[in-house]
Amino acid sequence: MTEPDPKSPPRAAAIHQALRQAILEQALAPGAKLPEDLIASQFGVSRTLVREALGRLAAEGLVELRHNRGASVAAPSLAEARDVFAIRRAMELLAVDALCGRLEPAQAARLEAHVEAEAAAQATSGPTSIRLAGEFHLLLAELTGNALLQRYVAELASRCSLILSLYGRPHSADCAVEEHRALIAALRAGDAPACRALMDHHLAAVMGRALLPPKPGDMRAVLARYAGTPAPSPPRRAKARSA
Amino acid sequence: MTEPDPKSPPRAAAIHQALRQAILEQALAPGAKLPEDLIASQFGVSRTLVREALGRLAAEGLVELRHNRGASVAAPSLAEARDVFAIRRAMELLAVDALCGRLEPAQAARLEAHVEAEAAAQATSGPTSIRLAGEFHLLLAELTGNALLQRYVAELASRCSLILSLYGRPHSADCAVEEHRALIAALRAGDAPACRALMDHHLAAVMGRALLPPKPGDMRAVLARYAGTPAPSPPRRAKARSA
DNA sequence: TGGGATTTGTTCGTATGTATT
DNA sequence: GAATACATACGAACAAATCCC
């Protein structure tokens, strides 16, 4: 009416976004039940919209939907974590390949401004720092101009956040800023191998944080899983759930 | 209880699958409207289940969902086609990387049996031949053991089919069989560069079919679009519907 | 094992928004 | 340009399944 909204405000998307944020911030822990009725009353809407939002979240892998048994926050297994990481790595390498040597000045400026914001937030706000570190990768995907890649990276990054909240350390973004800076430099220089290596190392650091939780001793076994080789530990079963 | 059905029959999934098949077989042409009421009565269910199915199809990129304007079969632009192809290429290269040199005998046997089925169908049934050619790629993804990769490849292959039905030739699977055989050989030999090159060439052939449609004359204009340059043909409108 | 409370799956009706004459 | 016809968005109620005691 009098409001400047060009599109009508999509109501289901608001619920979707709110639940998504709650999950990623661990306000809703992995495995937590998500009763439709409760959520509906909490948001002041009917169950229909909640259902739709839960359906989308399930498509993104953030919630698990069991027939006649309702929805719950996803609790990915380590095997699923490995799958997600492998695909995220491929997608982000695709992004840097597309950008390497083709970065326009305005795009480089956006990246550098973002990293500066990261550096600024690093000193003060913890949550903001984490959020910005993740959004750097979204920005990379966006700059490729490939909308589908952007969607996939967003989805995969979200699942990574959930996985890190399950298995990982609290995520110290200390190193991330420097690694982001180095990547931008390599992109500007058009050094494709360096770009790939930097991105690879950067993501491997994230993976490592997820896989070396309590005891540094089983690092080798954990890495063996990531490599996909059942080599030195045959009696290990792949059913490691709820650990 | 007495029935062997391990899961209850998900009714929405049936509608989803039926619509999906109808779209991929071009029984529903790109751009065609999909009225909830009509589909609901056709399937003998309420509009709610149809809505859910349409939502999933929209998440897969097979239908477009405009607010307050209903659903229609997706009609991807050439820019979207380029995006989909680029990501599919990365995903399938990831699959061959994971499989190269690690193919177990049973897995290799499955692949070869599939290719033999392709060869057999090639002489007789056209639709079956097309279906099997696509399922070869799904089988590759499945053999990696990465369930998420499998889902993504399935999704991307579906969108590719839709794109080919819009812009491509009728798809002659003649060459595919030989290319599939060559890829299996390279996977067994553990020749990673050859694997990547073969898969790359194979997918590039599919892309090429989509991009050189009726007249070889406007190839340049088409390629210009793919490059992302609006250069030589500004008066073209993107409204090509209901053709 | 069984019964009741709770939650989900589904249907149908109404209001709102869009396309058409 | 306004009124009509139609399709969609959303909500409330019914039926079925699950969970808990």
Residue B47: CATH number of its domain: 1.10.10.10
Q: Which tops the pLDDT comparison, B214 or B164?
A: B164
B31 lies in a domain?
Answer: yes
Query: Looking at residue A173, what is its pLDDT?
Result: 58
Strand D contact at CB of residue B55, distance < 7 A: no
In the DSSP assignment, the letter for residue A217 is G
Q: Are residues B91 and B202 in the same domain?
A: yes
**Tens digit of each residue's pLDDT (9 = 90 or more) over B207-223:** 776 665 545 555 555 44
Q: Are residues A66 and A111 in the same domain?
A: no
Q: Measured between CA atoms, how close is B48 to chain A, in angstroms?
A: 9
Distance, C-alpha A117 to centroid of its chain? 19
Q: Are residues A83 and A69 in the same domain?
A: no
Q: Are residues A118 and A129 in the same domain?
A: yes
Q: Which residues 174-193 of chain A have a CB within 8 Å of chain B?
A: none
pTM comes to 0.85
Strand C contact at CB of residue A35, distance < 7 A: yes
Strand D contact at CB of residue B48, distance < 7 A: yes
Answer whether B98 touches A (CB < 8 Å).
Answer: yes
A241 lies in a domain?
Answer: no
Strand C contact at CB of residue A80, distance < 7 A: no
What is the domain-level CATH number for residue A146?
A: 1.20.120.530
| Residue B36 lies in domain | 10-76+214-227
Q: Measured between CA atoms, how close is B36 to chain A, in angstroms?
A: 16
Q: Are residues A42 and A131 in the same domain?
A: no
B2 lies in a domain?
Answer: no
| Number of domains, chain A | 2
CA distance A19 to A73: 10
Q: What percent of chain B has pLDDT over 90?
A: 65
Q: Residue A210: is its pLDDT beyond 80?
A: no
Q: Are residues B146 and B174 in the same domain?
A: yes
Q: How far is CA B120 from CA A142, A206, B109, B128, B173, in A?
A: 44, 47, 16, 10, 12
A1 lies in a domain?
Answer: no
| Sequence-separated (6 or more) residues with CB below 8 Å from residue A137 | A92, A153, A157
A112 lies in a domain?
Answer: yes
B192 lies in a domain?
Answer: yes
Dig out the tokens for A53 from the structure.
Answer: 């939002």
Q: Are residues A106 and A42 in the same domain?
A: no
User: How confident is residue B137, by pLDDT bands cut at 50, 70 and 90?
Assistant: very high
**Tens digit of each residue's pLDDT (9 = 90 or more) over B87-136:** 999 999 999 999 999 999 999 999 999 999 998 888 886 778 888 999 99
Measured CA to C1', what is the nucleotide nearest B8?
D17
Q: Are residues B71 and B85 in the same domain?
A: no
B177 lies in a domain?
Answer: yes
Q: Are residues B200 and B219 in the same domain?
A: no
For range A227-240, the mean pLDDT: 39
CA distance A58 to A72: 9
**Tens digit of each residue's pLDDT (9 = 90 or more) over A94-144:** 999 999 999 999 999 999 999 999 988 888 867 788 889 899 999 999 999
| Sequence-separated (6 or more) residues with CB below 8 Å from residue A196 | A93, A96, A97
A172 lies in a domain?
Answer: yes
Q: Are residues A83 and A199 in the same domain?
A: yes
Q: Are residues A93 and A143 in the same domain?
A: yes
Q: Are residues A203 and A84 in the same domain?
A: yes
Residues of B in contact with A154 (CB under 8 A): none
| Sequence-separated (6 or more) residues with CB below 8 Å from residue A231 | A224
